[in-house]
Homo-oligomer: A and B are copies of this chain.
Amino acid sequence: MAEPRVVLYGVGYQGSLAARMLLERGVDIVGAIAQSDAKEGRDLGDVAGLGRTTGVIVRRDAAAVLSQSKPDIAVVAVTNPLPDHKPHLETCARAGVNAITISVESLYPWPSSPDIAEELDQVAKEHGVTITGTGFQDVFFVQMVADLMGAAHRIDRVVGRSVYDSDDGGPELARRFRIGTPAKLGGPSASTASRASAAPSSLGKTSLYALAAVTGLTVERVRSEHRIEIAAEPMKCKSLDRVVEPGQISGQTSIDRMFTREGVELVLEVTGQLAKPGMTGVTNDWTIHGDPTLKLITPEVPGDVGTCTQMINRIPDVISAEPGFITIDMLPPIRYRHSLHV
Spell out A's residues near B (CB within 8 Å): 21, 24-25, 136, 138-140, 143-144, 146-155, 214-217, 262-264, 291-292, 294-302, 305-306, 308-310, 312-313, 333-336, 338
Q: How far is the CA of A138 from the CA of B149 in the complex (A)?
A: 12
Contact of A216 among B136, B301, B338 (CB under 8 A): B338
- Report the separation of the CA atoms of residues A309 and B290 in the bound assembly, to the nearest whole angstrom: 12
Q: A151-B334, A153-B308 are in contact. List 4 more A-B contacts (CB 8 A).
A: A139-B150, A150-B334, A153-B309, A153-B312
Decide: A150 and B310 in contact? CB cutoff 8 A.
yes
Do A297 and B299 contact each other (CB < 8 Å), given the known contacts A146-B335, A217-B338, A306-B151? yes
Instruction: Please name the residue on chain B nearest to A295 by beta carbon.
Output: B299
Measured in the bound complex, the distance between the Cα atoms of B287 and A300 in whole Å is 12
Task: Verify B296–A336 contact, CB threshold 8 A.
Answer: no
- Tell me which residues across on chain B come within 8 A of A217, comparing CB atoms: 338
Given contacts A139-B147, A333-B333, contact A152 B309 (CB under 8 A): yes
**Is the Cβ of B306 less than 8 Å from the Cβ of A302?**
no
Contacts A143-B147, A216-B338; A24 near B309 (Cβ below 8 A): no
- Shortest CB distance A145–B (Å): 9
The answer to whether B150 touches A313 (Cβ under 8 A) is yes
User: In the complex, what residues of B have CB within 8 A of residue A262's CB?
Assistant: 338
CB of B150 within 8 A of CB of A335, answer yes
Q: Please indicate the chain B residues that have their CB under 8 angstroms from the CB of A292 in the complex.
A: 301-302, 305-306, 309
Interface centre among A138, A217, A264, A333 (most CB of B within 10 A): A333
Given contacts A21-B153, A144-B148, A301-B151, contact A335 B216 (CB under 8 A): yes
Nearest 8 interchain pairs by C-beta: A150-B334, A149-B336, A262-B338, A143-B147, A297-B297, A139-B151, A153-B309, A292-B302
Shortest CB-to-CB span from A23 to chain B, Å, is: 12
Residues of B close to A146: CB separation below 8 A = 333, 335-336
Contact (Cβ within 8 A) B295 A300? yes
Contact A338 B264 (CB under 8 A): yes
With a cutoff of 8 Å between Cβ atoms, the chain B residues found around residue A291 in the complex are 305
Contact partner of A295 among B214, B298, B312, CB < 8 A?
Answer: B298
- The answer to whether A155 touches B305 (Cβ under 8 A) is no
Residues of chain B within 8 A (CB-CB) of A150 are 138-139, 143, 309-310, 313, 333-336
